[in-house]
Amino acid sequence: MISFDLPGCAKKAIHTFVGAFFYVWIFFSISPLYATTSCTLKGPSETVKWDYIADGDSLTLKDGRKIRFPSINTPEIAHENKSADPFGDLASLTLKQLLSGTQKIRIQAVGKDHHGRVLAHPFLMDGRSIESLLIEKGLAYQLFSEEPDAYRQCLKRQEAEARREKIGVWSKSPVLDIRADRLKPGFAILRGKVVEVANPKKSDFLWVEMDGPVVIRVPKSSLDAAWLKGLIGQRIEFRGWLVDRKEKNKGEGRYKRWMVGIYSRDGIQRLE
């Protein structure tokens, strides 16, 4: 066996290096930060070139198509004389940083929205979900469409982790109480008590009356009426776009001012 008689300073440097290496190895092995991995591409995809990033959840391709990410909503950037929402500019900047090293991304198109934009799940060229990366950083909320997608459960786990860690948008609770907080049009996460569920025979929708100025509209094809009625008297959390129906309240005032469309059971969570 060969031995070396090293100077004291050299021995100290080696011990320091070994100790640091061991600490880093332990950190990467058990740290919750590295326990969560990004959602990855499943199935066939189209490789495209991007041209312009509009905000955190939409971009334009070189071929002119406008892409909207279907499973997330990022806070708004400043537009139309409206100031940016908290973390809106950071979400947009983060998307630019994710794509800064490449002109190509992969997409899986799933349809179009009412603005004519292509709804498409975006991925980096190595297969990592861009929607997932934004949710991980607390810069996006998950959306739930009527049709489930292959990434829903993965994104749900990642949003739950970001929420537990109070990262980004979750650093201050974004959930609004429908009776106590000021409401405004746009995407919102809300909480309140269910007081009634109406099932009109000549309507394609179920109507969930809340204990405040909000009603939830649910397509009958999406959720079971019995399940919704089981929520009567319960407090729930739900998410979607708040629509101001102030004009319809003129005259008899038959309608609650605010309406939210929900298209999946995942969009409603029963609170303890």
Of 197, 258, 246, residue with least CA distance to 224: 197
Q: What is the pLDDT of residues 112-131, one digit of tens each?
A: 999 999 999 999 999 999 99
Whether 156 and 142 have beta carbons less than 8 Å apart is answered as yes
DSSP 115: T
251 Rama class: left (phi>0) / alpha (psi -120 to 50) / beta: left
- Decide if 193 contacts 211 (C-beta within 8 A): yes
Question: pLDDT > 90: what percent of the chain?
Answer: 77
Most distant CA pair in the chain: distance in Å? 97
Q: How much is the average pLDDT of 212-239?
A: 97
Reported as a single tens digit per residue, the pLDDT across 152-168 is 999 999 999 999 999 99
Q: How does residue 33 score in pLDDT terms, banded at 50, 70 and 90?
A: very low
CATH of 46-170, one of 1.10.260.40, 3.40.30.10, 1.10.357.10, 2.40.50.90: 2.40.50.90
DSSP conformation class of 85: P
Joined together, the tokens standing for residue 52 give 């312009």
Fold of 173-270: OB fold (Dihydrolipoamide Acetyltransferase, E2P) (2.40.50)
pLDDT digits (tens, 9 = 90+) for 41-100: 999 999 999 999 999 999 999 999 999 999 999 999 988 788 899 999 999 999 999 999
Sorted by where each begins, the domain ranges of the chain are 46-170, 173-270
At 32, the pLDDT band (50, 70, 90 cuts) reads: very low
Contacts of 31 (CB under 8 A, 6+ apart): none
* Fold: same for 46-170 and 173-270: yes
Residue 167: CB atoms within 10 Å: 15
Residue 87 CA to residue 171 CA, distance in Å, equals 11
Rounded to whole angstroms, the Cα distance separating 131 from 151 reads: 9
Measured CA to CA, the distance from residue 161 to residue 138 in angstroms comes to 9
**pLDDT greater than 50 at residue 19:** no
